[in-house]
Amino acid sequence: MHSLIEYKDAQKQLSLKEKVGQFFMPAAFINDSEEEIQELEKLISEHCVGSLCFFHSRASAATNFEGKKEVIYNANSFDLLKKMIHRYQKAAKYPLLIAIDAEWGLAMRIENTPQYPYAITLGAIQDQNELLFEVGKNIAHDCKVAGIHWNLGPVLDINNNPDNPVIGYRSFGEHKLEVTAKAHAFVKGTESQGVLTSIKHFPGHGDTATDSHLELPLIEKSKEALFSNELYPFQKIIDEGVDSVMIGHLSVPSLTDGSLISSSISKHIIKGTLRTEMGFRGVVISDALNMHAVTKNYPIKGELEWLAFDAGNDVLCFTEHVSEGIAAILKNADAAQIDESFERVWRLKEKGIVSITGSNEELSDADLLNSKIAEASLTLVKGTEKDIAAFREEGYQSVSIKKEGETLTNKEIQDKIKALEAQISNENILLLLTPPKVKPADNFEISEQELAFIHKLIETKKVVLYVFGNPYVLNLIQTKATTAVVCVYQNLKAFQRYAGMHFLGNVKANGKLPVTIKDLN
């Protein structure tokens, strides 16, 4: 990989067109064909592209809006990633800044890599934010091993809408002080390894029921309310110092003098709220510019890229029209505007690239840290430890509902439920529920028949329920008649072990729900 020249030399050496090329962050796909790889190499070389954001494949959710195409499993994705980073760096005239979404580890994008708990799980931890520091540190270590400089996280959205289709489990919770403290620890852990961070999705995607991959969410809160709550974590982390802020695709009229324009192309929000009122001086990166919240309104190639840059974005993430975008910026922007963003971007490169070029170290061991997190997060939502002990001593029968990722036809579901009903021979039922999906769409893909079966058990038996998934699933379940409800949050092996130890009375539940669940008692 070429060495990065200092900013003072870059300012003189790069042409205006090359400087503009540094603002562009196209998507790179780990499982691309050779032809597609060569096309991106050509794009990097010809347009002096400044950065790349890696995704699994062109069929993944980030590109395909929730899986209309089958995502092919590739056990060798991590090795491919490292090789592709090397190839793309060789194609670049100046070193590329390599980014990825690794909110819960490289496993968010790459098979057979360490997976750490979702933010909502970390949100349940009480008074042990050093664990979040360790999560940020371990994920950053794995990024370094791959040759990645920039983890596009953490999420600072306060998730106060249980129907949020896209944030939910990616948020630390609904309480601004907890979100702030946990995000701060995660950021500091990441920084301890020299990896860059990006707090997102400014000015807050938590209180929406719309997925900005598909439509533009509308947030109708007053400016005062936003500064008191949604913007609070952003302000605190900005005050502490942070590398970058990612702008979400959100319509927030109270911050735009009544306009319904997306925050990602709003000068009021980026140059006004974020820079002038909140004092942020670092790099501003857009959320993916391929998302339908914005693309559907700007069909002319290059128009959206210009609007995003002119509004104040320094890095244009997942832009699909690099050549046209560069031409539009060169046509419309003056040299001073370009140089201002160029300095911020190059300074970020100086910070992020210098010490991270990949390494021969091993990836982190997630299991040890995940065990500590399982112990700290597992939450007794209803009932007491004594209730569970009495239940256990009376004798019980275990019943498992669903497996993560399981998809069955209606006939298969009916047959499964009939088989379970035939097997039940005890009045005490230890009910183990693993929602197939972590997102709330279609009731987390728990069928109506399965919900009816769960409710029948609760009504007719003595039930202790353990949930290995998103706690919002409890909003679907009538839990009043249960003996106890325990939220385990994840179905990772460490969490399974700890849940078993808890049920057997060997350990206590130390966590607290980070979100509100209706009608628990």
pLDDT digits (tens, 9 = 90+) for 289-304: 999 889 989 999 999 9
Predicted pLDDT of residue 3: 87
Same domain, 147 and 285: yes
Question: E strands, 347-490, where?
Answer: 379-382, 397-401, 428-433, 462-467, 484-487
pLDDT at 136 over 80: yes
Instruction: Please state which of the ranges 277-291, 315-329, 344-358 shows the lowest mean pLDDT.
Output: 344-358
Over residues 26-56, the pLDDT tens digits come to: 999 999 999 999 999 999 999 999 999 999 9
Cα–Cα distance for residue pair 437/443, rounded to 1 Å: 9
pTM for the predicted model, two decimal places: 0.96
State which of 358, 382, 397 marks the end of a domain: 358
Residue 358 pLDDT exceeds 60: no
What's the domain count of the chain? 2
Q: Which amino acid is at 517?
A: I
CB of 158 closer than 8 Å to CB of 204: yes
192 shares a domain with 101: yes
Q: Kindly state whether residue 406 falls inside one of the protein's structural domains.
A: yes
Q: Is the pLDDT of residue 59 over 70?
A: yes
In angstroms, the Cα distances linking 249 to 288, 292, 372 are 9, 9, 36
Q: Which of 250, 264, 361 is nearest to 313 (CA)?
A: 264
Same-domain status, 392 and 348: no
* 467-441-404 Cα angle (round to 5): 40
Residue 357 has pLDDT above 80, yes or no: no
Q: Are residues 372 and 301 in the same domain?
A: no
In-domain check, residue 235: yes
Residue 411 lies in a domain: yes
Catalytic residues, by residue number, are 213, 287
Are 230 and 251 members of one domain? yes
Q: What is the reported pLDDT for 150?
A: 98
For the segment 142-177, what is each residue's pLDDT rounded down to a tens digit? Answer: 999 999 999 999 999 999 888 888 899 999 999 999
Predicted confidence (pLDDT) at residue 521 exceeds the cutoff of 70 = no
Task: Indicate if 493 and 408 belong to the same structural domain.
Answer: yes
Same domain, 289 and 388: no
| 55-59, 129-133, 241-245, 504-508: least confident range | 55-59
H or E element in which residue 244 lies:
strand 244-247
Query: What does the pLDDT read at residue 73?
Result: 84
Residue 210: the pLDDT is 84
| Residue 119 near residue 154, CB atoms below 8 Å | yes
Q: Are 380 and 509 in contact (CB under 8 A)?
A: yes
Residue 112 has pLDDT above 80, yes or no: yes
Cα–Cα distance measured from residue 235 to residue 271, given in angstroms and rounded to the nearest whole number? 15
Whether 494 shows a pLDDT value over 60: the answer reads yes
β-pair partners for 315: 285
Does one domain contain both 177 and 306?
yes
Query: Considering the domain boundaries, does residue 517 fall inside one?
Result: no
Question: At 379, is the secondary structure helix, strand, or coil?
Answer: strand
Are residues 281 and 242 part of one domain?
Answer: yes
Q: Is residue 510 part of a domain?
A: no
Please say if the pLDDT value at position 19 is more than 70: yes
pLDDT band at 507 (very low <50, low <70, confident <90, very high): very high
Name every residue whose Cβ is closer than 8 Å to that of residue 321 and which is 6 or more positions away in sequence. Answer: 301, 302, 304, 305
Percent of the chain scored above 90 by pLDDT?
87
d(CA 482, CA 520): 9
pLDDT of residue 69: 73
Mean pLDDT of the chain: 94
Sheet holding 484-487, edge to edge: 379-382, 484-487, 462-467, 428-433, 397-401
Q: Does 520 map to a domain?
A: no
Percent of the chain residues past pLDDT 70, beyond the cut: 96
What are the pLDDT digits (tens) for 206-249? 999 888 888 999 999 999 999 999 999 999 999 999 999 999 99
CATH of the domain at 126: 3.20.20.300
Confirm whether 21 is domain-assigned.
yes
> For residue 286, what are the contacts with CB-CB under 8 A and spacing of at least 6?
246, 247, 264, 308, 313, 315, 316, 317
| Residue 250 belongs to some domain of the structure | yes
Q: Are residues 68 and 101 in the same domain?
A: yes
Q: How far apart are CA 184 and CA 164, in angstroms?
A: 23
The per-residue pLDDT for 213 is 84
Distance CA 236, CA 400 (A): 43
386 and 337 in a common domain: no
Q: Which of 358, 375, 402 is the last residue of a domain?
A: 358
Using one digit for the tens of pLDDT, what is the confidence trace for 315-337? Answer: 999 999 999 999 999 999 999 99
Residue 434 sits in the same domain as residue 386: yes
Phi, psi of 498 (to 5 degrees): -65, -35
Q: Which residues contact 307 (CB under 8 A, 6 or more apart)?
A: 265, 298
Average pLDDT, integer, range 431-455: 93
Domain edge (last residue) among 358, 386, 416:
358
- The structure tokens listed for 470 are 């998103």
Full domain range(s) for residue 332: 7-358
User: With bands split at pLDDT 50, 70 and 90, how would you rate the model's confidence at 385?
Assistant: very high
